[in-house]
Amino acid sequence: MSKKKILFFVEAMGGGVFTYITNLANGLSEEFDVYVAYATRKQTPSNYKEYFNKNVHLIKVNDFTRQISFQDIKAFFEIRKICRLVKPDIIHLHSAKAGILGRWAFSGKKIPIFYTPHGYSFLMSNISPIKKKIYKAIEKVSAMRNCTTISCSSGENDETKKLTSRALYVDNGINIQNIDDIIKNSDIVEDDNKTIFTIGRISTQKNPQLFNEIAKRFPENQFVWIGDGELRNQLTSSNITVTGWKNVNETLKIAQKHRIFLLTSKWEGLPMSLLEAMYMKKICVVSNVIGNNNVITDKVNGYLCSSVNDYTDVIKEILKGKTPSYIINNAYNDIINHFNSESMVKGYIDIYRNVLSEK
């Protein structure tokens, strides 16, 4: 009996979304015939195809672009053509661009449609109030289409339920076996526990200006930003090192050297870098925003901060060695018991099976 076909459309295949897509596609490929129609970004690994199982089919969408443009019309017809060729049993749209185009390109009557936002555009804090209203209006109108939204965190699901009653969520999860394979057999030794690091694109979302301000308050400590981006020039403090883009193996090996993970994001979906840091038993100090606070409970499995003074006070206590061991252990156990790719894949399989049985 042939496998049912799942067709992913994903425009934003970079950073955490890339990790998510590879974990989910590979995990589903044992039960389903998985197709990924995608576009790459600057932070997409050059050897990205090697991250997918050989039985995952990759299709380049030539007209997917990040910015809104007339090219979106061409992308609209291109994804319709891809769908006709693949003849999927389920379509799953990932991130805003694919989510909006896909919900209007397909009716959802014959083929069930799902959409995962990976962080709603209208929650971005670097856009004007007018743009926020426009983005939210577009999401609200698109949510009226015959499609179910599967959020990647409970906080994102709360936002979804303001737009539509057709709302489910499956928490993001990381592939702990992959991390073990990379770091468990390495000879990496942790530093003196006084280096603070982060992972991600140096963009408005990740708030490099705040990261820089925190670094200035700890001139005796080293800060490491694993990644690169358009706002690199905002990291002016002399004690900050920017590594540039690294592949997954290099990123995890650098992260393994350090003890304190800092995430100053203005908004999130559910960050993979945070889940990876929790599994590697790092002390996690993160912004109190949706996504982060769906994973971290303050002073239980990490620290939530709302101002530069909050970060300063918390980091001072950590540097004094006053972090209880249970905080690190709780974070690690949360990954083992829930925020892992096996749990995530199972959640999607259950949803797909249900809709296929109804079909």
Segment 271-313, tens digit of pLDDT: 999 999 999 999 999 999 988 999 999 999 999 999 999 999 9
- Rounded (5°) CA angle 293-259-222: 105
Structural tokens at position 58: 């990759």
Is residue 58 within 8 A of residue 36, CB to CB? The reply is yes
| 3-state SS, residue 69 | coil
Is residue 291 within 8 A of residue 238, CB to CB? The reply is no
Output the pLDDT for position 347. Answer: 97
- Rounded (5°) CA angle 282-187-280: 20
Nearest to 194 by CA among 255, 260, 251: 260
94-153 tens-digit pLDDT = 998 999 999 999 999 999 999 999 988 887 777 788 988 999 999 999 999 999 999 998
Is residue 205 within 8 A of residue 272, CB to CB? The reply is no
Full-model pTM:
0.85
Output the pLDDT for position 15. Answer: 80
User: 230-250 burial by CB neighbour count: b if 16+ within 10 A, else e?
Assistant: ebbebbebeebeeeebbebee
Question: Which portions of the chain are predicted below pLDDT 70?
Answer: 1, 185-192
Q: How far is 33 from 203, CA to CA, in rounded Å?
A: 35
Structural tokens at position 240: 């900050």
Nearest to 172 by CA among 119, 127, 125: 119
Would you tell me how many other CB atoms lie within 10 Å of the CB of residue 5? 17
Determine the residue type at 283: I
Q: What is the DSSP letter of 206?
A: G
Tokens 């690690």, located at residue: 332
Output the pLDDT for position 32. Answer: 97
The structural domains of the chain, ordered by start, are 5-173+340-358 (3.40.50.2000), 176-337 (3.40.50.2000)
